[in-house]
Amino acid sequence: MNLLLIGVLVALCTLFFFEMKHSLHRSSVTNELINEYAGELTGPKRQELIARIYAYCARDRKLKKIINKYQATEEDFMKAYKKLFREADMVKGRRYVPISSFFYVYTLEHILAHPEEDSRKLAMKCLNFFHF
């Protein structure tokens, strides 16, 4: 009984460690992009930003499942970014809605599941997720 309990405890600690590592890495990447690109809507920097967001999401073990599910492209990300930028161009803490929204399972799923959603409604969903 004690051995089973120790095994479960070790498994939970290992899971917690890897989830925290994943979360810290995601936060680091998101913060780097916010510091570099917040407020960018035009020009080649915007395209570079979307390419970097898409590349991260395509590599992430959780987010790539959503990209594959909806067969999302960089163009889909660009359309959503423009909508979010238009309605929610704001930074609060370490979150900037037009960038941060792509890095969380819930918001990315919503963005890609509702590509024709009104800009304001999409922004409100993401804002509510981040408790703005």
* Full-model pTM: 0.85
Computed on alpha carbons and rounded to an integer, the radius of gyration of the chain in Å comes to: 17
* pLDDT for position 40: 64
What SS3 class is residue 49? Answer: helix
State pLDDT tens for residues 10-63.
899 999 989 898 888 888 888 888 888 877 666 788 889 999 999 999 999 999
pLDDT tens digits for range 79-107? 999 999 999 888 877 788 999 999 999 99
Beta bridge partners of 96: 91
What mean pLDDT do residues 97-126 have?
A: 93
Contacts 24+ apart (CB under 8 A), 118-121: 119/83, 119/84, 119/86, 119/87, 120/87
